[in-house]
Amino acid sequence: MPNFHTQTLKPLSYPCTYKETTFSYEARSKRGNKLVMASTQGENILIRIHQKEGGELLVKGDKVTRPTQASFLQKILIDFRDASEAKEQFSNIEPKKFLEVKHSPYLKEIEFFANHFMVEREIWVEIGFGSGRHLLHQAKKNPHIQFIGLEIHKPSIEQVLKQCELQGIENILVIDYDARLFMEFLPSNVVGRIFVHFPVPWDKKPHRRVFSAAFIEEALRVLHVNGTLELRTDSQLYFEFTFSQMMQLSKANVQVKKNAELEITSKYEDRWRKMEKDIYDVTLTNESASLPIPKLGTLRFDECVDFSKVLDGFKDDLLRGDGFFVHFEELFEIDDKSGLIRLSFGANERNEKCYILIQEGKLSYLPDRILATKSNLAAHTLIKEWFHGICD
């Protein structure tokens, strides 16, 4: 990930603009770490300045607000380095060829699916599309279908968006989101096929697998009658695990194949075939219509707080509920009336990392897109109680 090391940074007076980047504020923590809010072309990114032993400063994008297109972060870090006259000791932010920074209309944020997505035609979903070979092939072959590609690896996302532009493909929407959480955002009975090709097997950490009883249940809800959930894998263990999960259903139509040929092979498939590994397909067909579900929405605060009381009462704190947690990690002070709290919260196995911005007594999440899933809602209630405990 783009970052640079320096001994010194000239202080900026906030807010200020350098080239196309605006730096709005700086926040400092008691541990000596700093955050700078930077914006360019509608992207808001926190720069994190970490004080290393020996006084050296490591400057990088904060994970919480990292943009999907790495080139935005690169551009912002270059502007920050130049504005603060840093002398780099190590850097990987200068691209060999400066990438043109622009938004793709086909790259969507999760709020789009939570609030604006309209189902106008049948949807097919590919989970973990990697190099995108299968997704691009299917999209070209089926122009009447709306494809949704899910991936968490940013370079793969950039590569597929570029291919969509080069090949004039307009029926793929790409989202950088964990597939285990995404299905909650789709309406019931709208998906024709869900492809999960060569997922990471996670043999030692099965809870990180895309497939689980909860995932299969959500997949069946979004599939229309005769829609299919399709796993293709080289891992016998993953195949057996998925098959047994499907067999836990009270009624299931499952088809299994070994070494079946597809018209397109992915990068991973080519690799396994060269090694003469067996390939397994498990296809679950949905046979019943599901009830509609309400839209999820995002988490918001209504309460007002006194920042000075938060400053006095803050400590690194881990709170636990039934299957969820909240960890208040670090407080950053912008000035005596405003600041940021870094926290992680949510379901034990799928947590969110974010900040709470406190400004003029008002609280808001940063990024402002924490979705109201069941475990996030429970954690949000605990967070509100924590603020009441400190401020009331």
Ligand X SMILES: C[S@@+](CC[C@H](N)C(=O)[O-])C[C@H]1O[C@@H](n2cnc3c(N)ncnc32)[C@H](O)[C@@H]1O
Question: Which residues contribute to the site for ligand X (CB under 6 A)?
Answer: 127-131, 150-153, 156, 178-180, 197-200, 210, 266-269
* Residue 210 Cβ vs ligand X, minimum distance, rounded to whole Å: 5
Nearer to ligand X, 132 or 367 (CB): 132
Nearer to ligand X, 34 or 208 (CB): 208
Q: Per-residue DSSP letters for 83-136?
A: HTT--EEEE--S-SSPPP----TTEE-HHIIIII----S-EEEEES-TT-HHHH
Nearest residue to ligand X, scored by beta-carbon proximity: 128
* Residue 325 Cβ vs ligand X, minimum distance, rounded to whole Å: 20
* Residue 213 Cβ vs ligand X, minimum distance, rounded to whole Å: 16
Element (H, E) at 374: helix 374-391
Residue 308 backbone phi and psi in degrees, to 5: -65, -35
Nearer to ligand X, 69 or 84 (CB): 69
Nearer to ligand X, 153 or 362 (CB): 153
* Residue 295 Cβ vs ligand X, minimum distance, rounded to whole Å: 22
Q: Which of 214, 152, 201 is nearest to 179 (CA)?
A: 152
* Residue 198 Cβ vs ligand X, minimum distance, rounded to whole Å: 4
User: For residues 5 and 56, is the Cβ–Cβ distance under 8 A?
Assistant: yes
Nearer to ligand X, 61 or 201 (CB): 201
Helices (DSSP H) in 192-335: which residue ranges? 213-222, 236-247, 267-274, 307-313
Nearer to ligand X, 194 or 331 (CB): 194
Element (H, E) at 277: none
Burial class of residue 85, CB neighbours in 10 A (0-12, 13-18, 19+): exposed
**In this structure, what is the dihedral angle of CA atoms 386, 390, 391, 392, given to the nearest 10 degrees?**
80
* Residue 163 Cβ vs ligand X, minimum distance, rounded to whole Å: 14
